[in-house]
Amino acid sequence: MSTFPPRRDGEKWQALYAVTGTEAAEIAIQLSRVASGNIPLLALTNSYHGSYGTAMAASGGSSCRHDLPETGGVFHLQAPIYHWKSRIDDLLEMAETTIKSSTSGKISGFIFETLQGYGGIHVLPNDYINRMAALTHKYGGYVIADEIQTGFGRMGSAYWAYQMSGVEPDIVIIAKGLGCGHPISAIVAKESVFARFNATGAHKCHIFANQSIPLIALCRQIYFLHLRSQPHVRGRRMRRTFAITCFCSDVT
């Protein structure tokens, strides 16, 4: 949890471990729905959140889909990419129209990737992310940042990609960089979200959610790669070493 910046609203972060990124997305959506009491979820075109269930339903591209019945309640909004980047006012207006026309005026959340990875490496504009977060909260939903591809310093200067926009998500999902090849993912959320979820008394996670070997890998990963040396500093050092090596091999 120490890799997450302290929350501005004073709440603490809590985590629930899972196995895959798809599972983390699935549980995060479930968490937002149970905690908010609302079903409609806003997602973006061109996004990827997972390969089955609601995570697949939330993904915004036909290449992420199988022809299977999908869980409902997902509304895709045009992503702010290509020429839409300069039409953020219009996108926000359309998002609010979708909420007002396709839902009862209450939503469970908005899921997004700060950088759409599978969608072709598109960084979403900061202004769009912040305004969508405000809109989500206005209609009773939670902001879910999918950091499965971008987290753990993979964006360079920011440890978590969402920090680049200044937005404060309510729920963050992480995987890839967490276990570095080991099957582990996590759903990190503010404590009040988990408290509402836990209050139902229903089953929360499956039997393999806290496996010891991936957890040991995770501790090692955080200790050696992240807490002892910031990834962007490390990246700079590696680039310098690489440049020196290339130069030396040229002259010898």
Q: Which residue shows structure tokens 């809109």?
A: 135
C-alpha–C-alpha distance, residues 163 and 148, integer Å? 15
Contact 76, 8 (CB under 8 A): no
The three-state DSSP-derived secondary structure of 97-143 is HHHHHHCCCCCCEEEECCEECCCCCEECCHHHHHHHHHHHHHCCCEE
Instruction: Classify 171 as helix, strand or coil.
Output: strand
Q: Minimum distance from CB of 115 to ligand PLP (Å)?
A: 9
Closest CB to ligand PLP among 103 and 150?
150
Q: Which residue shows structure tokens 């405000």?
A: 134
Closest CB to ligand PLP among 64 and 99?
64
> How many CB atoms are closer than 10 A to CB 249?
8
C-alpha–C-alpha distance, residues 231 and 236, integer Å? 9
- Residue ranges in contact with ligand PLP by CB under 6 A: 20-22, 25, 48-51, 113, 117-118, 146, 148-149, 175
Q: ∠ at Cα 183 (118, 202), nearest 5°?
A: 100
- DSSP 8-state code for residue 150: T
C-alpha–C-alpha distance, residues 58 and 44, integer Å? 8
Closest CB to ligand PLP among 37 and 120?
120
C-alpha–C-alpha distance, residues 99 and 127, integer Å? 20
**Shortest-Cβ-distance residue relative to ligand PLP:** 21
Q: Minimum distance from CB of 48 to ligand PLP (Å)?
A: 5
Q: Minimum distance from CB of 152 to ligand PLP (Å)?
A: 13
Closest CB to ligand PLP among 30 and 51?
51
Closest CB to ligand PLP among 69 and 181?
181
Q: Minimum distance from CB of 169 to ligand PLP (Å)?
A: 14
Q: Minimum distance from CB of 205 to ligand PLP (Å)?
A: 16
Q: Which residue shows structure tokens 């997972």?
A: 50
Q: Minimum distance from CB of 71 to ligand PLP (Å)?
A: 16
Q: Which residue shows structure tokens 């409609």?
A: 40
Q: Minimum distance from CB of 156 to ligand PLP (Å)?
A: 17
Closest CB to ligand PLP among 146 and 170?
146
Closest CB to ligand PLP among 10 and 181?
181
